[in-house]
Amino acid sequence: MNNKKNPFSFQLNVSDFLPAEESEKQGMVVMRESVSFWKDGFRRLRKNKLAMASLFVIIVIMISAFIIPAFYPYSYEQQIRGSENLGIMEYSESELERIEAGEKVFPHLLGTDSLGRDLMIRIMVGSKISLLVGIIASAIILVIGSAYGSIAGYFGGKVDMIMMRAVDIIYTVPDILIIILLSVTLKYPLKELADNVTGFEWINTVGIGLISIFVVFSLLYWVGMARIVRSQVLMLKEQEYVVAAKALGASDSRIIKKHLLTNSIGTLIVTTTLQIPSSIFTESFLSFLGLGVSAPMPSLGSLASQAIGGISSYPHRLMAPAVVISLIILSFNLLGDGLRDAFDPKLKN
């Protein structure tokens, strides 16, 4: 077209009024990437700096709890004569002598306790105990709770009603009291078992206190998980009916089921992750009261408890386990929160 003077000041030409092609139209449509549930969730999680930092802390603590003690020059029950009550990085006289003699003596990074035991290794082993308790207890709760909840949800009707009534009663039982009671009393029959019945000697090595804790968790703490699993199962069941009633094609029902299952798994992951710090919390509480693992096995709770007496002279004996246990619990909580924000579709905007 020749450049005629246009009545329009912003230069429209005839070609502008030609119909637009499909390709041009598509280009204007900004399609949001449809990502899979997991990819999307992990992407959101990675963006959450706090959750990522917590994950890092957890990994660091796990390494120092599970891997480092194998290579550490001191062991948790090892009482070194002459090295009692050392401060941070302090050497005892005999150790100094050995250094002068040319020997390499690994420093006591956090000093020693009144029996000459290196505090650093005891804290690391204590962390191991806490982490183990947390993870195993949560695993137990997950298994029992899921089984119970799925059965109740799947069968429904009378079975469901009875099972959930039981759950309601267990829920109202004051758990801490029962835990304390069980921890006090289970020691005896467990000891009997360990000493007298073959095949149960491992009870002594694992520690009666520890086992009592697991027994207690298995008896009481799975109810929360059972309720959650049950509601998920009920939702899945409802979808089945809805799908059948609406006579959707097979592909639709599979999509819905897949969607629900991934949602359920997401919820389970979050709940289990958040159960871990709760279990660790309870274990440290019991150890603090003297009801957890038995000496000389250290627990962060019992370490703190023992350190109170010397709080003015050796504050680090209290601060170190206190900081570590707080870090562990806090990190798991933050990670759990992060997981929930990342995978809970309700919060998606």
Partner 1 sequence: MSKTLLDIKNLRLSFFTPQGEVKALNDVSVSMQEGDVLGIVGESGSGKSVTASSIMGLVSHPGRIIGGTIEFNGHRIHEMSEKEMRNIRGKEVSMIFQDPITSLNPVYTIGNQIREVIYLHTDLNKQQAYERSVELLKLVGINEPERRLKQYPHELSGGMRQRVMIAIALACEPKLLIADEPTTALDVTIQAQIIELMMELKRKINMSIIMITHDLGIVASMCNKIVVMYAGKVVEAGTTDEIFYNPKHEYTKGLLRSIPRINSEKHEKLVPIDGTPVDMLNPPEGCPFAPRCEKCMKICLRRMPEFTQITSTHKSACWLLQKEVFEQKRREGK
Partner 2 sequence: MGGYIIKRIISGIVTLFLVATLTFFLMYLVPGGPFLSEKAPSEQTLKALQEKYGLDQPVGIQYLNYMKRLIRGDLGTSLKMRGQEVNDIIRTRFPVSAKIGLMAVILAIAVGIPMGSVAALHRGKWFDRLIMLISTMGIAIPGFVVSTVLMFFFGVRLKILPTFGLTSPLHYILPVAALAFYPTAYISRLMRSSMLDVLGQDYMRTARAKGLGQFKALFKHALRNAVLPVVTYLGPMLAGILTGSFVVEKIFTIPGLGSQFVGSITDRDYPLIMGTTIFLAFLLITMNVIVDIAYKIIDPRINLK
Residues 6+ apart with CB under 8 A from 46: 52
Q: How far apart are CA 66 and CA 45, in angstroms?
A: 26
Binding partner selected for residue 18 from partner 1, partner 2, none, CB under the kind-specific 5 to 8 Å limit: partner 1
Asked if residues 81 and 117 have their Cβ atoms less than 8 Å apart, the reply is no
Interaction of residue 194 with partner 2, rule CB under 8 A: no
Nearer Cβ to partner 2, position 228 or 243? 228
Interaction of residue 338 with partner 2, rule CB under 8 A: no
Interaction of residue 281 with partner 2, rule CB under 8 A: yes
Asked if residues 314 and 306 have their Cβ atoms less than 8 Å apart, the reply is no
Interaction of residue 161 with partner 2, rule CB under 8 A: no
Interaction of residue 20 with partner 2, rule CB under 8 A: no
Rounded to a whole number of angstroms, the minimum distance from the CB of residue 327 to partner 2 is 9
Interaction of residue 173 with partner 2, rule CB under 8 A: yes
Query: Would you state the structure tokens that stand for residue 199, as one six-digit string?
Result: 């095949």
Rounded to a whole number of angstroms, the minimum distance from the CB of residue 315 to partner 2 is 6
Residues 6+ apart with CB under 8 A from 218: 140, 141, 144
Rounded to a whole number of angstroms, the minimum distance from the CB of residue 182 to partner 1 is 43
Binding-site string for partner 2 from residue 116 to residue 155, where x marks contact by CB under 8 A and - marks none:
----------------------------------------
Interaction of residue 188 with partner 2, rule CB under 8 A: yes
Binding partner selected for residue 19 from partner 1, partner 2, none, CB under the kind-specific 5 to 8 Å limit: partner 1
Rounded to a whole number of angstroms, the minimum distance from the CB of residue 239 to partner 2 is 27
Interaction of residue 195 with partner 2, rule CB under 8 A: no
Asked if residues 55 and 330 have their Cβ atoms less than 8 Å apart, the reply is no
Asked if residues 341 and 334 have their Cβ atoms less than 8 Å apart, the reply is no
Of positions 73, 82, 309, 315, contacts partner 2 by CB under 8 A: 315
Nearer Cβ to partner 1, position 17 or 241? 17
Rounded to a whole number of angstroms, the minimum distance from the CB of residue 36 to partner 2 is 29
Terminus-to-terminus CA distance in the chain, angstroms? 49
Asked if residues 291 and 211 have their Cβ atoms less than 8 Å apart, the reply is no
Of positions 92, 146, 212, 305, contacts partner 2 by CB under 8 A: 305
**Contact region for partner 2 (CB under 8 A) — 62-70, 72-80, 174-182, 243-251?**
174-182
Count the residues of the shown chain that bind partner 2, applying the rule CB under 8 A: 42
Give buried/exposed letters for 125-155 (b at 16+ CB in 10 A, else e). Answer: bbbbbbbbbbbbbbebbbebbbebbbbbbee
Binding partner selected for residue 28 from partner 2, partner 1, none, CB under the kind-specific 5 to 8 Å limit: partner 1
Asked if residues 103 and 78 have their Cβ atoms less than 8 Å apart, the reply is no
Rounded to a whole number of angstroms, the minimum distance from the CB of residue 268 to partner 2 is 22
Query: Would you state the structure tokens that stand for residue 143, as one six-digit string?
Result: 């298994």
* Residue 215, phi then psi, degrees to nearest 5: -60, -45
Q: What residue type is 51 in one-letter code? A: A
Interaction of residue 349 with partner 2, rule CB under 8 A: no
Sign of the alpha-carbon dihedral angle for 247, 252, 255, 260: negative
Asked if residues 335 and 270 have their Cβ atoms less than 8 Å apart, the reply is no
Asked if residues 172 and 223 have their Cβ atoms less than 8 Å apart, the reply is no
- Coil, strand or helix: which one is 236? helix
By CB under 8 A, name the binding residues for partner 1.
Answer: 4, 7-8, 12, 14-20, 24-26, 28-32
Q: Give the binding site for partner 2 (CB under 8 A).
A: 168-169, 172-174, 176-178, 180-182, 184-186, 188-189, 277, 281, 284-285, 288-291, 301, 304-305, 307-308, 311-312, 315, 318-319, 322, 325-326, 329-330, 333-334, 337
